[in-house]
Chains A and B, each alone.
Chain A
Amino acid sequence: MNDVIVRLKHLKKYYGSARGIKDVSLNIHKGEIYGFIGPNGSGKSTTIRTIMGLINKTDGDIYINGVKLDGESIEIKKIIGYLPSEINLYDDMTVKQALDYHELFYNKDLKKRRNELVKLLKIDENKRIEDLSLGNLKKVGIVLALMHEPEILILDEPTSGLDPIMQSIFHEILIKEKEKGTTILYSSHVLSEVSSICDTIGFIKDGVVIKEDSIDNIKKDNYTYLKITTKEIDKVKKELNLKIIKESNNEIVLLNTMNINELIDKLSKINIDRLLIEEIPLEDLFMNYYK
């Protein structure tokens, strides 16, 4: 699609023989919020740091705005706002000095947006960076990532350290950014955190993107839990050949990945006492990818 703003093609990063990322391919479209989901150590931060040019890729391609990234690009950096998972700023500065310093690198007036964000996130500009709590430091990081009104926002675990109220305010800010046309890459290890605001989700496991789809399609997947009470447990296992979630004497819980017609057809061959079909919660679906 021609509205792809960030495209990664078979991106690889190895540290000697150790795996950073094995094969990351993803497409982020203009104006969407892309949830980049994976457990700790799956390669989310490595992918992001490779996009940012902080570490060198071993192989693969990165395209931003259709331009293949090959070395440093000031023009690309100008349109990106980046919030690292662990924000480290200059300890000797006050928040005000840190924001003033940031402004020096952009040839435009950032005061208006800066003041809006400072007000929204309730930041005390007179505090010293070294005295800030993790949450307050994160809030300053959010202002730094957003104040130059970037076209692309790259957020690595942006809500870690933020209280629920601040998380909600932050999500409102992101939704408004999206409405303005900003493209957002939002990395997290908590699916429920991003599922409410994301358009697309990419799941990464052991350095490989294992699934990439719209949140609607993921929710539409025919994944359900089947709770079957029967005396023919062995037959159920053989006929359905599905992943067993729980099993007791006459009861078995399975993860159904079949379409409903196929399922009914197979179930008709079994003498079932009781059948319960439940929609699988998104969190369980997420866990299923990583088992």
Chain B
Amino acid sequence: MIKREFKVNFKSFLIWLSILIIIFLIVYLLYPYIITDDTVRNIDEMMKIFPTEVLKAFNMDIASIETAYGWVKTEGVMFILLITGFYSSILGGNILLKEENDKTIEYLDSLPIKRNKILTNKIIVGITYILLFTIIFGLFNYICLNLSGDFSQKQFMLLSITPILVGIPFFAFNLFISTFMHKTKKTIGISLGMVFIFYIISVISELSTNIEFIKYFSLYTLAGTRDIIANTTMNSLNIFISIGISIIFIALSYIRYNKKELL
């Protein structure tokens, strides 16, 4: 069964991974032509116009976009986290619910297999794909950055791990939400909306110290990219919270799925 799960979910994995790779490939290929002495001067001028809070929201106060790696630390990491968020959320929302949406659950649930086993298989496949997504994209990024110039390898490694800290909780949260639904159409909207809302919360929280507390309402805070870029360290608390949130929502999904009416 698990083999089939990998096969069924491979296509969306490939599509989302390709989207991210294509975006980055375009940037890496064009960057040497975009970033010249003149454009760097223009960017510097432009940066002076922006308030510090706005620059902070995009890590531009602690990183420069003069190099490809600089772009990764600012806008690049934003793309990585957003797209991993989308992929993980949609995967979590669909992986289990697809059986109900396609009405194959009536067949699957009549087989001698426990619902817990069905769920466990789907969770293993989902998490494996999120890890593979991060690893494969990290490798791609590593090769491209190696070709484009010097960069901090430790910092890059830490930044490359951050999508996992966000992706798995997104997956677990949406998996839990999906146990209340019967159609995937509804969960896709919820998944995408949630990623946007959490991302906007994390950006807004950087705009003023007065509203900084709202960052605790966003899963994107778990990425902790500012710490990594500024200090080349990862806040271990974020790792524990990410694991904790994932465990809680996965446990709730088991409880809920065992009681769920499947038709």
List A residues at the B interface (Cβ < 8 Å): 49, 52-56, 72, 74-75, 77-78, 80, 82, 84, 86-92, 101-102, 104-106, 144
Contacts and interface: CB of A to CB of B under 8 A. Distances in A.
B104 A88 contact: yes
A114 to B, nearest CB: 15
B111 A102 contact: yes
Contact of A90 (B104, B113, B259): B104
Contacts, number: 57
A84 B102 CA distance: 14
A105 B113 contact: yes
B106 interface: yes
Interface in B148-203: none
Interface string B97-119: 00000111111011111110000
Q: Is the interface of A mostly helix, strand, loop or mixed?
A: loop
Contact of B109 (A54, A56, A106, A144): A54
A106 B1 CA distance: 12
A89 B104 contact: yes
Interface of B: 1, 4, 8, 102-107, 109-115, 258-259, 261-263
8 cross-chain pairs, A with B, having the tightest CB-CB distances, nearest first: A88-B103, A77-B112, A82-B110, A78-B112, A105-B111, A55-B261, A74-B112, A54-B262
Nearest to B102: A88
11 contacts: A53-B109, A55-B261, A55-B263, A74-B114, A77-B110, A77-B111, A77-B112, A88-B106, A90-B4, A104-B1, A105-B111
A75 B36 CA distance: 71
A80 B115 contact: no
Contacts of A84: 106-107, 110
B8 A92 contact: yes
A98 B105 CA distance: 14
Contact of A80 (B102, B104, B110, B259): B110
Nearest to A52: B110
Contact of A144 (B8, B107, B112, B262): B107
A180 to B, nearest CB: 20
A77 B115 CA distance: 12
Q: Which one of B1, B106, B110, B114 has the highest number of Cβ atoms from chain A below 10 Å of its Cβ?
A: B110
Contacts of A90: 4, 102, 104
